[in-house]
Amino acid sequence: MTLPLVVEGLGHAYAPGAPVLEGVDLTLAQGELVALVGASGSGKTTLLRCLAGLTTPARGRVVVGGAVVAEGGRERVPAERRGVGLVFQEYALFPAMTVRDNVAFGCPDPARVDALLAATGLADLAARRPAQLSGGQQQRVALARALAAQPHVLLLDEPFANVDAPRRLDLGQEVRALLAGQGASALLVTHDAQDAMTLADRVAVLEGPPGRIVQCDAPEVVYARPVDAAIAARLGPCAFVPAEARGESASTPFGEVALVAARTGPVTLLVRPEQARFEAGAGDARVVARAFVGRGARVRVRAGEREVLAEAPLGARAGDAGRVVVVGPCWALPG
C-alpha cells in the first residue's frame, strides 16, 4: 500500500545562510493523523508550504501518494496536481462564491459535494456566502472544500488558532471524527501541545531554526519519554531533577525513585506535576506558589536548591512546610 506522504531530508532557506528547515524526515500512514508541534519560527508553516507545492524546498524529497513531487530543489509536480489539501489558518474561502461553490471548486462530482455538505452540517447553509457564516461554520467549509478534492494527504495549519479554549476540545473531536469518516490522512500543525496530544495518532516535534523533527511518536510516549528537556517543556509543565542512577532506580533530593529505563551515573529526571505530591507537615520543603486547578491545587515547592511542581490538597498555601513524594517510575533524559 502506498504511503500518503513521505518526506526525506527536506531543507529550505529563504535567504542564503539562514536555513528555515534542515533534514526533515516524516512519514504518514494511510488514515493517520499526525500533529506537528513547534514554537513560532520553528518552520512549521514553511514545511506545510513545501509539502503543498507553494514553496519549492531547496533540498530533500517529497513523495505524495507514491509520486515524487519535489526532489533536490526541483518541483516535479506543481501544487495544482499534487493531491495535497491545505486548510489555511484564516480559511481563505472564496468570498464571491457560495458555500456550495466553494466546496465544489476542487471536486467535479456533485454527489460527493452533497455528501460532504451533509457530513459537515452545512447542507442548510449551502447557498450562503462565507461572509454570512460564523467562524466555526467557515472552518467547516474550509475543511469540506479541502476534503472534497480527495487529497492523498490533508494539511491543516493551526486549525484551532481562532477558537476559544472551551470550544477547542469539541471542535477538535469534530474534526477528528470527520477526518476518520473520510479515511483521510492528515498533518495538523499547531503550537498547542494539548491540542496535538488529544487529537493525533502521533506527535512530531519540530525544533528550530533551522527546523528539524527531533521526535515523532505516540502522544503518551513523547509526553512521558521526551528525547530532550526542550521537548519535555514544550509538551507540558514539568521539573528537571538531578539524580544519581543505579540501574532500576535513582536517588533524588526527594528520595529514592524508580526509573522507566535502567541507567547508571548522574542523570536528569523529568518530573511531571502529576508524578509529585506535596504533603504538609515535617520536612525541609516549602511551598513558594499555589494555583487552583480544579480537583486540587498545584504548588511550586522548593526543597534545598531544587524546585518541582506538585499536586497538593486544596488547603495548601504558600509558605507551608512539608515534603514532596515523587511517584515513579521517572524518565531520565538521554545524554
Partner 1 sequence: MTRAGGWALVAAGAAAPLLPVVGLAVGLAGGDPWRAPPAGLGPLVLRSVGLAVVVSALAVPLGAALAWLDRRADYPGRRVLVVLSLLPLALPSFLLAGALRHALGPGGALGLPAFVGLGAAAVVLTLATAPLAQVIVGAALARVPAAEEEAARTLGASRAAAFRAVVLPRLRPALVASALLVQLYVLSDFGAVAVLDAPVLTWRIYQAVAQQRLGDAAVLGGLLLAATLLLLVLGRLAHGRVAEAGVANPRPVERRPLGRAGFAAALVAHGLTAGLGCLLPVATLALWVVDGWSRGLPFAPLGEPVAITLRVGAVAALVTVLLAWAPGWAAGRHGRRGVDLAVLLGHALPGVLVAFGVLRLALALTGGGAYRALGEAGALLLAGYVARFLPEAHAALRTAAAAFDPRQDESARVLGAGRARRLVRVVLPAVAPGVAAAAGLVVAQVAKELPITLLLGPAAGARTLSFRVYDRLEEALLHDAGAAGLVLVGVCLAAFALSARWGGER
| Contact residues for partner 1, defined by CB under 8 A | 52-54, 78-82, 84-86, 88, 90, 92-97, 105-106, 145-146, 149, 151
The C-alpha cell that represents 246 in the structure block? 543505579
Residue (29 or 79) nearer to partner 1, CB: 79
Q: Are 279 and 322 in contact (CB under 8 A)?
A: yes
Residue (115 or 149) nearer to partner 1, CB: 149
* Nearest approach, Cβ of residue 25 and partner 1 (Å): 23
Residue (184 or 316) nearer to partner 1, CB: 184
* Nearest approach, Cβ of residue 90 and partner 1 (Å): 7
Residue (52 or 287) nearer to partner 1, CB: 52
* Nearest approach, Cβ of residue 8 and partner 1 (Å): 21
* Nearest approach, Cβ of residue 84 and partner 1 (Å): 6
Residue (95 or 183) nearer to partner 1, CB: 95
Residue (53 or 226) nearer to partner 1, CB: 53
* Nearest approach, Cβ of residue 327 and partner 1 (Å): 48
Residue (35 or 84) nearer to partner 1, CB: 84
SS (H, E, C) the chain: CCCCEEEEEEEEEEECCEEEEEEEEEEECCCCEEEEECCCCCCHHHHHHHHHCCCCCCEEEEEECCEEEEECCEECCCHHHCCEEEECCCCCCCCCCCHHHHHHCCCCCHHHHHHHHHHCCCHHHCCCCHHHCCHHHHHHHHHHHHHHCCCCEEEEECCCCCCCHHHHHHHHHHHHHHHHHHCCEEEEEECCHHHHHHHCCEEEEEECCCEEEEEEECHHHHHHCCCCHHHHHHHCCCEEEEEEEEEEEEEECCEEEEEEEEEEEEEEEEECHHHEEEEEEEEEEEEEEEEECCCCEEEEEEECCEEEEEEECCCCCCCCEEEEEECCCEEECCC
* Nearest approach, Cβ of residue 146 and partner 1 (Å): 8
* Nearest approach, Cβ of residue 83 and partner 1 (Å): 8
